Structure 1
Amino acid sequence: MKDDDLILWRFGDENTVIAVINKRADRITVYDDVLDGRFRDRLKLDNQTGSLTITNTRAEHDGGYILLINGEMKIFGLFVFDEVKSVSVKEGDSVSLNSDLTEMKDDDVILWRFGDENTVIAVINKPNDRITVYDDVLDGRFRDRLKLDNQTGSLTITNTTTEHDGDYQLMITRRLSSKVFRVSVYDSVHCCGPTEAVIRLVLSALVGVATVIIVVYEIRSRRAERDQAHIQTSGSIEI
């Protein structure tokens, strides 16, 4: 920052000021008691760069943040999600990532992103009545595999392969909500999700027990046959 820079951070629809850096007056002010104290003890300002950090985020911190630097403006959209949903799918099968919406509203905009770089792979823009699938990104790994539900915004990936492993982020921009799905794709040779792994172990154990029972039964049957044959032979000699 320069010696005469003035930085303001604003939040929400009402553009509430939450932090100010006035380099000329050499003053930093954090208004963390505004908005019913939702930012109390959570805001940190970098005096050198003017960057803002929000710690211990909650859903109430979702929203738009405006940065004003000497009159120039930048806008940040923050989406806070409370969990990562794990989904396991067998290679070659389809997997559906549900938005949990029963029906999208006319002003909803939905974005689906994938991977560490948050690459956009699908968009539903209700105001423009447009559905776009970017299945040629990432070297075409999603080509002809993505299906969007225009009513709910849910995403289905068909004919999955291990390269579809990763995090999928659902962003509903008008509602400022976000969800993350962690998809694990396993092949038929290697094992699977934890539930199926337990089932396989139980089945293996049952098969093992059944095998032991059959072997023991076979041994006892043969021993009984030998004893019976011995008794008959002994009886014939005595006669």
Structure 2
Amino acid sequence: MEGESVTLQTGVTKIQEDDLIMWMCGDYCIAKLNISSQAIFETHCIFRDRLRLDNQTGSLTITNIRTTDSGLYKAQMIGQQVSKKAFNLTVIARLPVPVIASYCPQSPPSSEPSRCVLLCSVVNVGHVTLSWYKGGSLLSSISVSDLSTSLSLPLEVEYQDKNTYSCVLKNPIRNQTTHLDISELCQPCSECVCCCNSTEAVIQLAVSALVGVAMVVVLVYDFRSRRAEQKRRALKSLPDHN
């Protein structure tokens, strides 16, 4: 898990005086233990001061591991015999806590006014499974293998439901759980929010329509007034036959 420490064991209980141990990260040497048990750390990789070598066993410890530390590590032990060990290290990012929020659909079904719609969400996750549980029983789940992905999983419950629900985010190592408080998130009046929003939209539309009609009336009145004024001027300009 990201932020923890990991030790890659050589399997040697105690190195001999003439042994040489080399640690490789991919194709690059990152540390070695020479004949005088002197630990030498190379600066090629991004480990800086996060590497530790055991002078007795040659085991390598990486502290404060990061997701970028994932990869293939190889230990080569050269002495009376030559032996090798390889480790495929996968560092998984820390799990966020799932967030549960009530969700108001744009068109709530009028036939089911007693149901509450909830949404459990997480952001920037990868290689995880997001699930809804009712007690200890799995209700639904969604998995993702990509990195830096956002997930959401809906759930419908009755407003008066007395069962216990929880949203669980899991990866191969850990899990994070958020328990649902129906009395806090599911209020019968919450589904009126959509109605109220719709009513506000209708009122705004009506007001806009009235303003538009008023503007048209003003323009028509102004147009007629100008035409009447032009006619009066035209009549005055005509010669007097008397």
- Common fold: TM-score over 0.5: no
Q: TM-score scaled by structure 1?
A: 0.41
| TM-score under structure 2 length normalisation | 0.41
